Every structure is written in C-alpha cells, then in structure tokens.
Structure 1
Amino acid sequence: MKWTKAELLNLQDNQIEFDEIVQFDNQNFDKDDRLKGLKDVHVSGTGAFGHSRDTFEFDLTIDGIMICPCAITNELIEVPFETYSHEVFSFVDTDEIDVHVVKNEIIELIPVVFQLIHLEVPLKVVKEGLAEYPQGDGWRVMKEEDYEKSKASQIDPRLAKLKDFKIKND
C-alpha cells in the first residue's frame, strides 16, 4: 500500500480503490505491553487526488483481530476491532493538524494503518468467563464485588471496643 505521486496523477478519475489483507511483522509488538499481535487485518477504502490543495485523501475501513494480554491472568486474548478514518496526505509542507506531509513523493499507508489500529487498543481486557482468579503465597486477586462485601463486614479497628460496650440501666 505504497504509491508515488506520479502513479496517483495517472489514475483514471484521480481516484483509487483498494481492498487488501495486511500482515504486520512481530517486531512491531516486542516493546508493546497492550498489543501483542494482529491477525486477519483487512484494509479497504478509496482515495482521491485534490489538485487544488495538492493533497491525496483516503477514506479507510480497517478491521481484524488484535491479540491483547488479559489484565488479570496475562493470557493472550483475541479482540475483534473495526475502525474508520479519513486521512489527508499533503505533497507540500503544511501546518495543518491531522495532515500527513509526504516525503520523497511516496505515500505509505501501512504506518498510518498501524497508528489507527493502535488507537483502538483497549486499556484493559479481561477474559470472558474467568472462573478462577490467580493467587499465590499470601496474595490473591479478588473480584470487586467480593472485595466490597468483605470490606462491609469488617469493623473499623478504632471502633472495635464499642462492640463490647453495654449500657446498664438501674
């Protein structure tokens, strides 16, 4: 998914359509804590050349499956995603926000697609139907409901002596 300005200028009706399956190298995920891989990434869309502004604009649809670690067990979980985006590439320098300035008159869409996928990565993923939470020597992970119940049944140590207090009526 790489085009030169010359290729784009020679397009019929100054438009392009694409529909591709994209692979990402595993090195992209080595230093990432929230995203451990991608599979079945499908990128489709259209692009049109804007002669007046010397820009090329894409409307993208990206879907696939991201592999994320479970926040509780650290098991890898497959999370489906889908995102849409409108991206503008400029062949001249610009100060506009959200416009990609093209270098060497070559538009590379894959890095932009990777950034858009990264924006969709959830902050926390928990495996569905998790029955047993991890535990170890002197610690265990609790459900929030269980924690609230145990906290409600505990007596504040500063008020514990009042439990033994009895009122005498004479």
Structure 2
Amino acid sequence: MLSISYLKIKNSNAPLTHIDRDVEVRPEFLERGKDLLYKVKNIHVSGDFFYDEPYVTGNFKVTADLEVPSSRSLKPVDYHEEFTFTENYSLENPTKDEIDENPDPIVKVEDDLIDLQTAVEDNILLNIPVTILTEDEKKNDIYPEGKGWEVVSEKSFEEGKKNQINPAFAKLKVLLDNDDKK
C-alpha cells in the first residue's frame, strides 16, 4: 500500500517530498470498480507533497493502461489514462467553510498516514470517460440492437420524429376525408 507520514512531510527541511512509483492495485479496488473496468495495469504515479499551512498538499500525475467496457456494447476497450490531481491533507476534520473555499479536496488523515493508494485508485475510476467505444463502433456508428428493439443515434431519432405522423392528426384526416366523400 502506498502511504506516507503527514508529520514527516510537515516537519521536513526539504520543500518537496517527491513520489515516483509504480502502483499495484488492491483486490478490493478491482471489486469496487468491477462495473467500470475489466483490467488495469502499468499504473505509475509521480508528483510532490509539500506543507502549506494548514495542509499537506499533493500534486500528482498518474498514467495507467485499462481495459474498460464500451458504453454501447460492453465489449472490452483498451484505454490509456493520463491525468493529474491535487489533494490537500489535514489532521483535523475540515470545516464546511474550508471545503467551500478550497477548489481541491481536503482529506482527513488517519493515524498520521496519507493514503495515496486510495487517492490514485479513486482518481483512476473518476477519470474513465462516460462514453468510450470500440474502434468498430466509432468507425461504423454501430449501436446495439435486439429482438424488437434497437438503439438509434440522436440524429436518426430526430429524423424519425420529423417523418412520424401524429396519431391524433391521422384520425382527424380520416374523418375529414370521409366528409369530403359525402
């Protein structure tokens, strides 16, 4: 597990505490993320911790190779993730005002240990795009379908609505046609 002492960073004479490590995911992370990803490998985190009263702040870059489900078909898609994140760490519970005033999350530290492992794992899940497609789905605009149903693009749906006859008007047209024949 990737963790570091809050007090060690706070009391260090060095302005920065550098982290540059490969990360192995825990089984509980894979269980927690089972609906969002199939596999994860080659996770690497690099960045720095520094003390900025009243917090220890961490700025990190993470890279990872994932296998995630397509948002259309659930078929596996290889996806390379690369992102940065910043978190503040505190020995005290942050107040509502502190949370509202700070653009970066404030995490309460337990037992003097900053849990960077969980921060990396959480951010891997948070940075998976909502829409991710296989190459075939992108190239050929493929949507899932089944017996008696199909998913259509928004464009196709709008075109279908334009060509669709309102049932109430269709009945009215029949009545008017009958009046014309009399």
TM-score (norm 1): 0.76
Give how far 1:158 is off. Answer: 2.0
1:110-129 matched pairs, under 5 angstroms: 110-129=117-136
Give how far 1:91 is off. Answer: 3.2
Matched residue SS, 1:8:
helix
Give aligned pairs, total: 166
User: How many percent identity over aligned positions?
Assistant: 23
Where do 5+ consecutive residues of structure 1 fail to align? none
CA distance in 1, matches of 2:48, 2:84: 12
Aligned to 2:37: 35
Give how far 1:26 is off. Answer: 4.5
CA distance in 1, matches of 2:158, 2:66: 33
Give how far 1:25 is off. Answer: 3.0
CA distance in 1, matches of 2:106, 2:143: 46
1:90-101 matched pairs, under 5 angstroms: 90-95=90-95, 96-97=98-99, 98-101=105-108
Matched residue SS, 2:162:
helix
Matched residue SS, 1:43:
strand
Cα RMSD (Å): 3.0
Matched residue SS, 2:14:
helix
1:140 to 150, 159, 164: 150
Where do 5+ consecutive residues of structure 2 fail to align? 100-104
Give how far 1:41 is off. Answer: 2.0
Write 1 or 2 for the structure with the bigger share of helix: 2
CA distance in 2, matches of 1:91, 1:146: 55
CA distance in 2, matches of 1:31, 1:47: 27
Aligned to 2:9: 8
Matched residue SS, 2:9:
helix
Aligned to 1:47: 49
Listed one character per residue, the Cα deviations across residues 42-100 of structure 1 (whole Å, up to 9, x for unaligned) are 211011234x53x4221111222333221221112223332222222223454232322
Give how far 1:14 is off. Answer: 4.4
Aligned to 2:102: none
